[in-house]
Structure 1
Amino acid sequence: MKTQVLDTLSDYELERGKPMPNFNHGYIQANLIVSLRQQYGKQFSVVSEVSIPTPTASVTPDVLVFNKRPVNWLEIKPELAEPPILAVEIQSPSQAMETLLEKVKALLEIGVKSVWVIQPALQTVSVFTAFAPPKTFVQGTVSDHTSGIELSLAEIFATE
């Protein structure tokens, strides 16, 4: 039975351990990276799809925010040992919330200060931290007091 499941997974899913993103997922990811770099690029390094080791497995968030660090063009390691201050997961249409919550828990346990879970269909952002209940934003500005980052939902879900 397990072989049948593996046969139906794309190379992307096998490599990254998550469903293949769709257009909306990619659009939101691009919006986030552009907005974060424009507003916080002097303070933070913003990257996408970098694997982070956890005690159980590697996790590859859609967007990661680190304290400002130099770029080393000769660096070849696929994983970073230092956790980001913020990790963002964008829910894909076939991705179960339970799977996302397992990633959130793993990321917080290794020292990520906050994790955002974006649900494109609902146009919401939920902010998870280790020491407070999650907060879901449905309008206005996402305010993450742990990282100090604020972004409007209009920027995250902008279509132009």
Structure 2
Amino acid sequence: MAIRQPSAPRAKPPTRPRWQSKYHGVRMTPEEYLALPEEKPYLEYVDGVVLQKPMPNEEHGRIAFRIGFLIQTWLGSIPARIGGEIRARLGDLPNYRLPDLSYWKPDAPFGNEEPPTIAVEVRSRDQTVAELRRKCEFLRRSGVETCWLIDPVTRTAEVFEGRKKTGTPVTILAAQSLPGFELALSDLFAILDD
């Protein structure tokens, strides 16, 4: 009588978290990416691969909204454009990135997917500062004049602007394209204490 060895248990295929898009991590052409259905959290297209942005929490949303509101208030009736998570076509590949907040100065060209003048990235708790620094550096190389990296976890910020290739830690947010606008981090982060 033959004795059968028990079969090894089959490995289960990795499962995605319920919130994660089935397209996350999938390599495709830019045309295939642009034809995808819109979903949230939004999808970006980086070096030929679709990546899903982290789901923003309330802290993240309040910071991005506050910055946009304060810039718009400061501008008054100047006809600039500000928006959250608007897709920009960047680089030669191309890449499609969605900064958390984008600002286009009044004389910036109109049209879909134009690089913003200022891009704001707000760190979510499941993102690293290093990955957001790389994103800001890429945005700058691709025509964005200024990138603000805001970290509500540590209540710090870095500005990527001018000839420097890396971010500069700051206590006041400002940009060459918004002469006279200043936002102290203490004022920005005070909304998180309400």
Check whether TM > 0.5: yes
Structure 2 residue corresponding to 1:66, chosen from 104, 110, 121: 104
1: distance between equivalents of 2:168 and 2:116? 20
State the TM-score, normalizing by the size of structure 1. Answer: 0.78
Tell me which residue corresponds to 1:36. 71
Instruction: Give the fraction of aligned pairs with identical amino acids, expressed as a percent.
Output: 25
Tell me whether 1:51 sits opposite 2:87 in the alignment: yes
Unpaired runs of 5+ residues, structure 1, are none
Deviation at 1:99, TM superposition (A): 2.2
Q: Contact 1:108–1:130 at 8 Å: present in 2 too?
A: no
Tell me which residue corresponds to 1:92. 124
With 12-21 and 108-117 compared, the bigger mean Cα shift is at 12-21
Q: Which has the larger radius of gyration?
A: 2
1: distance between equivalents of 2:73 and 2:42? 33
Tell me whether 1:145 sits opposite 2:180 in the alignment: no
Task: Kindly report which structure 2 residues correspond to 1:100-115, keeping only aligned pairs within 5 A, or say none.
Answer: 100-115=132-147
Structure 2: which amino acid aligns with 1:136? P
Number of residue-to-residue matches in the alignment: 151
Distance 1:58 1:6, change over 3 A: farther
Unpaired runs of 5+ residues, structure 2, are 1-11, 22-38, 45-51
2: distance between equivalents of 1:4 and 1:57? 27
Deviation at 1:96, TM superposition (A): 1.9
Task: Kindly report which structure 2 residues correspond to 1:113-128, keeping only aligned pairs within 5 A, or say none.
Answer: 113-128=145-160
Tell me which residue corresponds to 1:135. 168
Tell me whether 1:21 sits opposite 2:56 in the alignment: yes
Higher helix proportion, which one? Answer: 1
Distance 1:156 1:43, change over 3 A: farther
State the TM-score, normalizing by the size of structure 2. Answer: 0.66
| Secondary structure, aligned partner of 2:174 | strand
| Secondary structure, aligned partner of 1:115 | strand
| Secondary structure, aligned partner of 1:157 | helix
Runs of at least 4 residues of structure 1 off by over 6 A? none
RMSD over aligned Cα, in angstroms? Answer: 2.9
| Secondary structure, aligned partner of 1:127 | strand
| Secondary structure, aligned partner of 2:144 | coil
Q: Contact 2:133–2:167 at 8 Å: present in 1 too?
A: no
Q: Contact 1:129–1:146 at 8 Å: present in 2 too?
A: no
Deviation at 1:103, TM superposition (A): 1.4
